[in-house]
Chains A and B, each alone.
Chain A
Amino acid sequence: QQQVKQSPQSLIVQKGGISIINCAYENTAFDYFPWYQQFPGKGPALLIAIRPDVSEKKEGRFTISFNKSAKQFSLHIMDSQPGDSATYFCAAALDRGSTLGRLYFGRGTQLTVWP
């Protein structure tokens, strides 16, 4: 059972455009929501993360929007660049009081930004 559902599976965006990737979850015990970026042959690298006590977090061109009532969160990449072409994973983790701190990943979105 997929704990975190991610869409779209692939995304093609023109340089300078906005890339939007969406995720949804069911488990209300999740309280940490990171986004990871993965290039071919590399391990995932943390891009940005949010906790459910805020509705938005922005770091440079990357913004997470979080809707706790809908149990959804999304990644927005502004002014997308060819160097952003990678696979993006949303993830979720149980609350920090738990020793079960594994990350539950979505299936990934292959982003291609073309000039």
Chain B
Amino acid sequence: GAGVSQSPRYKVAKRGQDVALRCDPISGHVSLFWYQQALGQGPEFLTYFQNEAQLDKSGLPSDRFFAERPEGSVSTLKIQRTQQEDSAVYLCASSLEELGFSYNEQFFGPGTRLTVL
């Protein structure tokens, strides 16, 4: 497919479990973003990658959240010891060029809905 894909689409975790959410950006896109969208709210920025480099992780809510993009394409968002407040939709977006060069549209995936019981 030509768009951003995310897996799994739905994840139910028991409190305290670790989860890993995957994002496949559009091929060739340099920039990759993760956002968290709570129910009834707008997306909130978590972290940004330019190729494999994580240039901004200021939005990660705690040290339980970790993201990586080791080869500059697929990215994984990992949440350790999940808590109920982690329940949200996690959105991944990719953009063709690196930030600072020009502003490019961010293309969003469908998200992963995480429910922590």
Contact = CB atoms under 8 A, between A and B. Distances in A.
A102 B110 CA distance: 18
Interface residues of B, number: 30
Contacts of B41: 107-108
A105 B42 contact: yes
A45 B108 contact: yes
Interface in B82-117: 91, 93, 98-103, 105-111
B43 A103 contact: yes
Contacts of A102: 33, 45, 48, 56, 59
A42 interface: yes
Contact of A101 (B4, B40, B48, B107): B48
B97 to A, nearest CB: 10
B110 A103 contact: no
Contacts of A31: 103
A96 B99 CA distance: 7
Most buried by B among A6, A31, A41, A43: A43
Interface string A97-111: 111111111111000
A107 B103 contact: no
B90 to A, nearest CB: 11
Contact of B45 (A6, A36, A99, A104): A104
A46 B105 contact: yes
Interface string B8-50: 0000000000000000000000010101000011111100101
20 contacts: A32-B103, A34-B105, A43-B91, A43-B111, A44-B43, A44-B91, A44-B108, A46-B106, A46-B107, A91-B42, A96-B102, A97-B100, A99-B50, A101-B103, A103-B33, A103-B106, A105-B42, A105-B44, A106-B42, A107-B41
Interface of B: 4, 31, 33, 35, 40-45, 48, 50, 55-56, 59, 91, 93, 98-103, 105-111
